[in-house]
Amino acid sequence: MPPSQSGYLLGIGSNIDPHQNIAQIIPLLLEKFPTLTLSRVLEIPPIGMNSQRDFLNVVMFIETDILEGELKAICNSIEIQRGRDRSDPHRGTKDRSADLDILTAIHFPDDANRPAHSITDEYFLYPLLDEISAYLMQSPFEIQQKGVEINIGHLTFGQAATTIHRDASTRDKRIV
């Protein structure tokens, strides 16, 4: 049986230099959290906005006991570092370099079968939510859409769900 884990599910996306920005977001989160569990990265057309730029989207589980407000502040800070104008009232319908949304607080294995539609109305994230839940529960799962490869130095991710650990002794990241 998989271990008990509590934390948050995040939805992360970018449609301005998305490969570069997703690759920059992961190390910024690893500075705050020692372990990140990611779904595959999918390329998704923009929804609800007038743009020609496709998004790269990923769902992430962060095991942590920090308060949601503290996590939101970290997410907002990363968005700003990556160039998003959080003060723009139309920011939700504009192209963005970084979008980090807290989807829900969650506890595995208790919430493993929670329907994706009860977590978010962003239906394009449903297969990623199902994939990350199956991955954390060590259950088989297949998504028809191929994942997008993201590279950070010698680290490659995005084609399948994975866990990335920070190696604090060398500041290198690696897939485990």
Q: Which of 159, 152, 155, 158 is nearest to 176 (CA)?
A: 155
> 102, 72 in Cβ contact below 8 A?
yes
Q: Which of 37, 40, 42 is nearest to 18 (CA)?
A: 42
> 155, 24 in Cβ contact below 8 A?
no
pLDDT of residue 175: 45
CATH for 9: 3.30.70.560
H helices of 2-153, where?
18-30, 68-81, 126-136
**Domain span at residue 36?**
5-175
Tally of structural domains, the chain: 1
Would you say residue 174 has pLDDT above 50? Answer: no
Q: Render pLDDT for 126-161 as a digit per residue (tens, 0 to 9).
A: 999 999 999 999 999 988 889 999 999 889 999 999
Q: How confident is the model at residue 46 (pLDDT cuts 50, 70, 90)?
A: confident
User: What is the pLDDT of the chain when averaged over all its residues?
Assistant: 90
If one compares 51 and 4, the residue with the highest pLDDT of the two is 4
